[in-house]
Amino acid sequence: MRGLLLEELERGYFTNMKEIFGAMSGYQKDYNWLITDYECNCYPSKEISENGKYAFLDGKQLTKIIENNEIQFIWGVFTGFKKEYKLEEILTEPLPYADGNAQLWSKNIKIQNSLADIEIISWDSSLLMVLAKEGRVIENFAEKFPKCRDLAEYNSNNH
């Protein structure tokens, strides 16, 4: 498990998912995404509604929504699952959350849902955390955002 902390994006605000998905080189489309604990500047689709407890979208569908709208996720947890997992299986575990989650600041980083491969967390418009089981995810983000920090190291030194 590896994780990164990003405190600066090119477009100047967190979390512009166009920029984040751009760093994923299209492989976000290979996953189903559970979006939880989210607050946005706008809610452009019925799939990501203002009063929703969660959204569950195919990666292609989510990418299309993101590409067609300028959405800032002030808070939010994007959890990526291989397509073989059904929503019913995923929901057997608690919904991932950001605000008030002390585990995010632990030196023993882990994705909140054990079935997931990727977790992207927007923290109060001020930083972004990326956790992944696969090295290519972290490597792509580190290449795209060279000022990022290793999350486990950051947590060990600061919390």
pLDDT tens digits for 102-151?
999 998 999 999 999 999 999 988 889 999 998 888 998 999 888 899 99
pLDDT over threshold 80, residue 14: no
159 belongs to a structural domain: no
53 belongs to a structural domain: yes
157 belongs to a structural domain: no
Domains in the chain: how many in total? 1
55 belongs to a structural domain: yes
Domain that holds residue 109: 2-149
156 belongs to a structural domain: no
pTM for this model (two decimals): 0.93
Alpha-helical segments (H) within the chain:
17-22, 59-67, 87-90, 135-144, 151-158
23 belongs to a structural domain: yes
pLDDT over threshold 80, residue 8: no
**Which pairs with CB-CB distance under 8 Å and at least 24 residues apart come from 19-28?**
20/120, 20/128, 21/63, 21/66, 21/67, 22/144, 23/140, 23/141, 23/144, 23/145, 24/137, 24/140, 25/140, 27/136, 28/59, 28/62, 28/63, 28/80
The pLDDT tens digits for 19-74 are 888 888 899 999 999 999 999 988 988 889 888 899 999 999 999 999 998 888 89
158 belongs to a structural domain: no
pLDDT of residue 7: 79
155 belongs to a structural domain: no
